[in-house]
Amino acid sequence: MFGVAACVSWKAKRMKFYTIGCLILISVFLAQTEVCSAAPKKAKEDAMLPIVYSPQYDISVLGIENLHPFDTKKYGKVFGYLKQTQGLSSSQFYTPLEVTKDLLLTVHTQAYLNSLKKSQIVAEIAEIHALAYLPNGILDNGILKPMRLATGGTMLGCDLAKKHGWAINLSGGYHHAKADAGGGFCYYADIPIAAFQLLKRQPAGRILIVDLDAHQGDGIESICKKETRIHVFDVFNQAAYPLAFELQKTITYPYGLLPETGDQVYLDIIKKELPQAIHKSQPDFIFYNAGVDIYAEDPLGGLSVSENAIIERDAIVFREALKQKIPILMVLSGGYAPAGAGIIGKSIVNLLRNVIFD
């Protein structure tokens, strides 16, 4: 080998440098193409995943939050489950910033934001009346700040989904928040705020919001009803909160279900109707509100869907988006059974192992 190397002519050396140069240029081009592509990237050990989480997502107000059936610590539990079962470190997740007041004002009224400085209003939205007796600063730090971080997380998730083809915010999906009012433990309309920012950057874009939380997404529908570039696919228990019948008329693809619907009817709707809705709407981006309060043991959802069917549901939605190369951002939304966090964790692991990196 030594002898052969010594005999390489200058011309051959020039050719070698030229070839190496070309390879570097091709590599740079391919790397840039990959960044712009919506196709999912292969997971690498120690590489960051497009999953957004903040240790401050969990809601905590001196333990009083436990008076609501909402598991306000589910975000940290899902994060812990993913770390533990997948051998991930905290540094492999993205951390959001709080949404700014200016961005909140792109959807919410100043009067509504001012009203959140009254403990009584914060307590009514949380449906925990004991909170009304606490100083507003404690409520702001324990409830509103996590929600502002969650909204920042949904916005960051949009950028990550556009870059990687998919992303998950381990909070968000507060779909009962309206421009001028909160409700059902929802303070800030994270999906509409993020959706309008996407449309600001891409005015010709089209967005599909797939809302599969057990409850009708009345806040999203109220805010987006006049925006023709945003379509909503909403499957909900028609006998449960919020019973917003007028707003149901504004849903592009409404599926009001009877209580105790069960796995087969539920999954049939998702399998048959979602691909058609995507085909009709031709979205450039999908928000997926993946509430697990459809679960059979959930005290508020009432749709009697099993754990396996929830995992299957999430896989169907992701497969459809990835197949059609439409960036998808999943947010957690509701889920009130103690088993909820575990189901979300298992479903995300299934997405990572069998759908995204299949």
User: Which residues have a catalytic role annotated?
Assistant: 176
Total residues interacting with Zn ion, rule: CB under 5 A: 6
Q: Which of 108, 215, 231, 313 binds Zn ion (CB under 5 A)?
A: 215
Instruction: Tell me how many degrees the CA angle 270-247-211 measures, rounded to the nearest 5.
Output: 30
Tell me the closest approach of the beta carbon of residue 211 to Zn ion, in angstroms: 9
Q: Which of residues 153-172 bind Zn ion (CB under 5 A)?
A: none
Is residue 334 close enough to count as binding Zn ion by CB under 5 A?
A: yes
Q: Give the nearest distance from C-beta 138 to Zn ion in angstroms.
A: 26
Q: Which is nearer to Zn ion, 75 or 93 (CB)?
A: 75
- Locate 250 and state its tokens: 């504004």
Question: Which range of residues in 39-47, 58-66, 197-205, 329-337 is near Zn ion by CB under 5 A?
Answer: 329-337
Question: CA–CA distance from 258 to each of 97, 266, 267, 303 (Å)?
Answer: 39, 10, 14, 8
Kindly tell me which of 305 and 326 has the beta carbon lying closer to Zn ion: 305
Q: Which is nearer to Zn ion, 161 or 337 (by Cβ)?
A: 337
Stretch of 16-24, 104-112, 256-264, 285-293 lying at the interface with Zn ion (CB under 5 A): 285-293
Site pattern 91..130 for Zn ion (x: CB under 5 A): ----------------------------------------
Stretches 24-32, 193-201, 224-232, 291-299: which one binds Zn ion (CB under 5 A)? Answer: 291-299
| Binding range to Zn ion, per CB under 5 A, among 21-29, 39-47, 208-216, 339-347 | 208-216
Rounded to the nearest whole angstrom, what is the least distance from the CB of residue 58 to Zn ion in the complex?
18
Binding span for Zn ion by CB under 5 A among 100-108, 189-197, 228-236, 283-291: 283-291
Shortest Å, Cβ 75 to Zn ion: 16
Q: How far is the CB of 333 from Zn ion (least distance, A)?
A: 6
C-beta of 336: minimal distance to Zn ion in Å?
A: 8
Rounded Cα distance between 225 and 246, Å, is 11
CB nearer Zn ion, residue 183 or residue 334: 334
Give the one residue of 58, 98, 213, 234 binding Zn ion; rule: CB under 5 A: 213
Hey, how many other C-beta atoms are within 10 angstroms of the C-beta on 201? Answer: 10
Print the binding letters for residues 130-149 with Zn ion: x by CB under 5 A, - otherwise: --------------------
Residue closest to 307 by CA, chosen among 341, 353, 330, 352? 341
Q: Minimum CB separation from Zn ion for residue 77, in Å?
A: 18
Answer for the pair 280, 323: CB distance below 8 angstroms, yes or no. no
Q: Whats the size of the chain, residue-wise?
A: 358
Which of 159, 218, 293, 307 binds Zn ion (CB under 5 A)? It is 293
Instruction: Write out the residues near Zn ion by the rule CB under 5 A.
Output: 213-215, 291, 293, 334
